[in-house]
C-alpha cells in the first residue's frame, strides 16, 4: 500500500523548499529521478520548441515536463501542485526507461520521443501520446489514493479535467475528445473502485 504522505499544512508552501522530500517520493517510482526548476538552460530550450505549438508562457508556468530522469517544475509552484503531479511525471520517467530497455531512462530518449510524438501520426491520431498520458494518469491516480495524497472525489474531477487537456491543443490533439475524455473518466472510476 505504501506510506502516507503529508497533505497539510504545507500544501501552499513553495515546493522548492521541500525539493529533497519530493525527490525522495519520486525516487520510490524510479531511483534515477532528479527534480529541477525551470530557470535552467534546458527548460528554456524546450520552451522555445513548445512555444511553436502552444502558448509559451502557459507551457513554462502551468505545465511540468519530464525528459528521461529529469523533471521540471516552475519555481512558483506550490508543494501541493508538485505533490499531485509528481507521480504522473515519475511514470513518464518509467516509460522512458522501458524504451531504454531497462538500462536507464536517458537511453530511452530517442525511441520514446519518436513514439510519443509521432505514432502513428503527429496530430489527430497520435494514439501512443494519448496512451502514455492515460497510463501516467492511471498510475498517479492509483498511487495518490493508496498513499492518501488525493481523495476519490479529487481523482474523479482531475482525470476528467486532465483528459480534456490531453485531447486539446496543449497536447496537439492526439486523440478525438469525444473518445478521449470518456476513456479518462472510465479509467478514474476503475481506479477508485479498485483502490477504494
Closest Cα to residue 53, out of 138, 171, 132, 149? 171
Q: Which one of the spans 111-119, 135-143, 144-152, 171-179 is the region binding Zn ion (CB under 5 A)? A: 135-143
Residue 136 binding Zn ion, by CB under 5 A: yes
Least gap, CB of 75 to Zn ion (angstroms): 20
Q: The C-alpha cell of 6 is what?
A: 503529508
Window 137-166: contact mask with Zn ion (x via CB under 5 A): ------------------------------
Closest Cα to residue 85, out of 136, 36, 43? 136
Number of H-type helices and E-type strands within the chain: 9, 3
Between 15 and 90, name the residue whose CB sits nearer to Zn ion: 90
Least gap, CB of 166 to Zn ion (angstroms): 8
Beta-bridged to residue 66, according to DSSP, are 71
Count of residues that bind Zn ion according to CB under 5 A: 2
Q: The C-alpha cell of 78 is what?
A: 506550490
- Rounded distance between C-alpha atoms, residue 140 and residue 137, angstroms: 5
**CB 71, CB 8: distance < 8 Å:** no
Q: Please, what's the largest Cα pairwise distance for the chain?
A: 45
Least gap, CB of 176 to Zn ion (angstroms): 19
Between 136 and 167, name the residue whose CB sits nearer to Zn ion: 136
Between 115 and 136, name the residue whose CB sits nearer to Zn ion: 136
Least gap, CB of 136 to Zn ion (angstroms): 5
The residue written with cell numbers 529521478 in the block is 33
Between 15 and 67, name the residue whose CB sits nearer to Zn ion: 67
Window 114-133: contact mask with Zn ion (x via CB under 5 A): -------------------x
Between 92 and 147, name the residue whose CB sits nearer to Zn ion: 92
Per the document, the length of the chain is 196
Binding residues for Zn ion, per CB under 5 A? 133, 136
Amino acid at each position: 500500500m505504501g506510506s502516507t504522505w503529508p497533505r497539510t499544512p504545507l500544501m501552499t508552501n513553495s515546493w522548492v523548499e521541500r525539493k529533497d522530500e519530493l525527490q525522495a517520493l519520486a525516487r520510490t517510482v524510479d531511483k534515477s529521478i532528479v527534480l529541477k526548476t525551470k530557470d535552467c538552460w534546458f527548460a528554456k530550450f524546450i520552451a522555445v520548441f513548445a512555444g511553436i505549438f502552444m502558448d509559451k508562457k502557459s507551457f513554462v508556468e502551468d505545465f511540468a515536463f519530464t525528459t528521461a530522469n529529469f523533471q521540471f517544475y516552475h519555481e512558483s509552484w506550490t508543494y501541493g501542485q508538485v505533490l499531485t503531479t509528481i507521480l504522473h511525471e515519475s511514470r513518464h520517467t518509467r516509460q522512458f526507461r522501458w524504451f531504454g530497455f531497462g538500462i536507464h531512462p536517458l537511453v530511452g530518449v530517442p525511441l520514446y520521443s519518436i513514439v510519443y510524438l509521432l505514432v502513428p501520426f503527429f496530430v489527430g491520431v497520435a494514439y501512443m501520446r494519448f496512451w502514455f498520458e492515460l497510463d501516467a494518469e492511471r498510475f498517479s491516480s492509483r498511487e495518490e489514493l493508496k498513499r492518501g495524497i488525493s481523495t476519490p472525489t479529487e481523482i474523479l474531477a482531475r482525470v476528467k479535467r486532465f483528459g480534456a487537456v490531453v485531447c486539446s491543443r496543449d497536447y496537439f490533439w492526439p486523440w478525438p475528445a469525444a473518445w478521449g475524455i470518456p476513456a479518462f473518466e472510465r479509467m478514474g472510476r476503475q481506479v477508485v473502485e479498485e483502490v477504494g
